[in-house]
Amino acid sequence: MTDFRVYVLRLGHRLLRDARVTTHVLLTARAFGASGAIYSGERDAKLEETVRDVVERWGGDFEVRYEKDWRSVLSGWKDRGSICHLTMYGIPVDECIDEIPRVGDILVVVGSKKVPRDVYELADFNIAIGNQPHSEVAALAVFLDRLFGGEELKREFNGAKIRIIPQRRGKKVKVSKS
């Protein structure tokens, strides 16, 4: 579909405080077309299990893994593709989205509370989804939507055991046994 793949790096996960928001970050990454995610901060077996369970049932081959040393992820990424750090201090997305090379593996970095200064230096692009305080989940969703031009919402997830049949009212789900 595209010549590039996208991975998400979630920085500074804290077990209790970030459990749900990081889950939302990772599920948003998957649903909006990323191929996988890496998270740093505190290791969280339950978080990984939640995401793998969604992949198992809803399909696709999204992968999640923990990496303590996020700096080495960033410095090692230079050969794979661009690093896009989402931050409200950055350049408005619509002014810079076309500059991002659509090749290799794009790493999208989203922080939690406070992002260390060197992330701004190691990133190829510091990108704002609006220069207002809101949510890294919202920022990630809109960024991926811009990057994939809306096509990500039409994507099929291979091997899905559960599929939704869109309805004007109510819920309809198709469950495959396999």
For binding to its own copies (CB under 8 A), which residues are involved?
A: 17-18, 20-21, 24-25, 27-28, 30-32, 54, 58, 88-94, 117, 120-121, 125-126, 128-135, 137-142, 145, 150, 152-154, 157, 163-164, 166-173
Q: Name the residue nearer to its own copies (CB basis): 68 or 172.
A: 172
Exposure string over 146-176, b if 16+ CB within 10 A, otherwise e: bbbeeebeeeeeeebeeeeeeeeeeeeeeee
Q: How far is Cα 80 from Cα 72, in angstroms, rounded to an integer?
A: 13
Q: Which tokens belong to 38?
A: 């890496």
Q: Name the residue nearer to its own copies (CB basis): 22 or 40.
A: 22
Q: Which residues contact 87 (CB under 8 A, 6 or more apart)?
A: 111, 115, 120, 126, 127, 128
**CB of 27 vs its own copies, minimal distance in Å:** 4
**CB of 37 vs its own copies, minimal distance in Å:** 13
Give the distance, in angstroms, between the CA of residue 9 and the centroid of all CA atoms in the same chain.
7
**CB of 120 vs its own copies, minimal distance in Å:** 5
**CB of 163 vs its own copies, minimal distance in Å:** 8
Q: Name the residue nearer to its own copies (CB basis): 117 or 177.
A: 117
Q: Name the residue nearer to its own copies (CB basis): 69 or 151.
A: 151
- DSSP symbol at 150: T
